[in-house]
């Protein structure tokens, strides 16, 4: 069944609104030369539209399609030369595991002690990743589903929004509006078929195996394998990559539909404080780790910062740092959270009063 057949008629207008608003935001950001313009501009514009009461929505099926395209693009960063560096990643992977535990502990303490959340809501709001899985697990255990989802959404929104501007305007590192990956006409038919196959086959296999974040990880791994084998050196053309960034950014902003500023503020202020704490702790850990590992502090910071897998990898790609390393580190973060978080929850002590829902 085609995508158009899967989408109900009532979904087309909110989708069109989200893409239209996102495109305006992306265009304005690109006009001013702001970093990752099509993703960040779309995210900011649709967030404003959502809170203003406009019906904008990017259905999961549409977002999944474009997430798979980003997976193909990120996989193209895995060149044969990467194999020689892989042995150096072991220490960094251990650092990531330690940071996931630290970030979860810090967030949990803030939500539990400052926010007064109940134990379930505090914990499943705290994990640095796995938003879909954490919402489902938290709901099944009696947590406040809207509070959990809002905390994760605000964390991702702030991390992704702050970091590109920090690198551009504080560090003075040039961060383009969009990664330059070539024109559509530059892509040979055979390379197009190879890349499309990576997306389709990678998605289907990863979905069947129930891989966490399968929509991006499946195409990413298959694309990486194809590029490492030297079967193609091509990547997703820039216009398609920009379109994928636009859709992903619009999807992020659309999460806030149905909330007023007042309702969002009851939860979001604490989520914002937590996001800033996590950004600061990621920076501190990255600076310390870079003293002992052969990884620059900026690269290590991007590898630890708890934004979305696709978005953080895109920032790394735009910066021209070691995209493969950053991507692998974030895949590990997602896998650790999804697999270990439910078991870690069982050993947490104590309970606290339930937090108010954003809609209360």
193: pLDDT strictly greater than 90: yes
pLDDT of res. 40: 87
What are the structure tokens assigned to 27, written together? 């265009």
Is residue 36 assigned to a domain?
Answer: no
Is residue 50 assigned to a domain?
Answer: no
Range of the structural domain that residue 174 is part of: 60-237+260-345
Is residue 270 assigned to a domain?
Answer: yes
Is residue 16 assigned to a domain?
Answer: no
For the question of whether the overall pTM of this predicted structure is more than 0.85, the answer is no
pLDDT digits (tens, 9 = 90+) for 260-292: 777 778 788 999 999 999 999 999 999 999 998
The pLDDT confidence band at residue 145, using thresholds 50, 70 and 90, is confident
Q: Determine the average pLDDT of the residues in 149-178.
A: 80
Is residue 8 assigned to a domain?
Answer: no
pLDDT digits (tens, 9 = 90+) for 296-352: 898 999 999 998 888 888 888 877 778 888 988 988 898 889 888 888 888 876 544
Contact 107, 134 (CB under 8 A): no
First to last CA, the chain: 40
Number of domains in the chain: 1
| In the block, residue with structure tokens 């896998």 | 335
The string over 9-23, giving b where at least 16 C-beta atoms fall within 10 Å of a residue's C-beta and e elsewhere, is eeeeebbebbbebbb
Is residue 48 assigned to a domain?
Answer: no
| CA neighbours closer than 13 Å in the CB half-sphere of residue 193 | 4
Listed range (97-101, 170-174, 185-189, 201-205) with the worst mean pLDDT: 170-174
What are the structure tokens assigned to 74, written together? 């990120």
Is residue 23 assigned to a domain?
Answer: no
The string over 271-294, giving b where at least 16 C-beta atoms fall within 10 Å of a residue's C-beta and e elsewhere, is bbebbeebbebbbebbeebbeebe
Is residue 339 assigned to a domain?
Answer: yes
């Amino acid at each position: 069944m085609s995508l158009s057949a899967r989408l109900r008629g009532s979904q087309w207008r909110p989708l069109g609104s989200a893409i239209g608003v996102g495109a305006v935001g992306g265009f304005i950001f690109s006009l001013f030369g702001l970093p990752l313009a099509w993703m960040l501009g779309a995210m900011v514009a649709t967030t404003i539209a959502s809170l203003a009461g406009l019906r904008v929505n990017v259905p999961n099926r549409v977002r999944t399609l474009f997430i798979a395209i980003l997976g193909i693009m990120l996989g193209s960063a895995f060149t044969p030369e990467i194999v020689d560096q892989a042995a150096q990643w072991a220490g960094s992977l251990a650092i990531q595991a330690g940071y996931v535990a630290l970030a979860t502990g810090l967030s949990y303490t803030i939500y539990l002690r400052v926010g007064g959340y109940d134990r379930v809501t505090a914990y499943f709001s705290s994990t640095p990743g796995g938003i879909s899985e954490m919402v489902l697990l938290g709901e099944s255990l009696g947590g406040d589903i809207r509070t959990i989802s809002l905390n994760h959404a605000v964390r991702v929104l702030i991390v992704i929004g702050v970091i590109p501007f920090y690198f551009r305007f504080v560090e003075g590192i040039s961060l383009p509006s969009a990664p330059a990956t070539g024109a559509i006409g530059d892509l040979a038919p055979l390379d197009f078929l190879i890349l499309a196959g990576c997306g389709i086959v990678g998605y289907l296999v990863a979905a069947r195996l129930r891989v966490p974040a399968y929509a991006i990880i499946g195409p990413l791994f298959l694309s990486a394998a194809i590029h490492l084998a030297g079967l193609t050196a091509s990547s997703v053309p820039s216009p398609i990559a920009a379109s994928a960034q636009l859709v992903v950014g619009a999807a992020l902003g659309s999460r806030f539909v149905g909330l007023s500023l007042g309702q969002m503020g009851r939860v979001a202020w604490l989520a914002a404080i937590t996001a800033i704490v996590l950004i600061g702790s990621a920076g501190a850990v990255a600076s310390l780790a870079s003293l002992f590992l052969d990884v620059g502090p900026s690269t290590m910071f991007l590898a630890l910062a708890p934004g979305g897998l696709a978005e953080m990898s895109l920032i790394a790609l735009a910066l021209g740092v070691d995209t493969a390393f950053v991507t692998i580190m974030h895949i590990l973060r997602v896998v650790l959270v999804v697999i270990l978080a439910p078991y870690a929850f069982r050993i947490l002590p104590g309970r606290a009063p339930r937090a108010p829902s954003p809609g209360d």
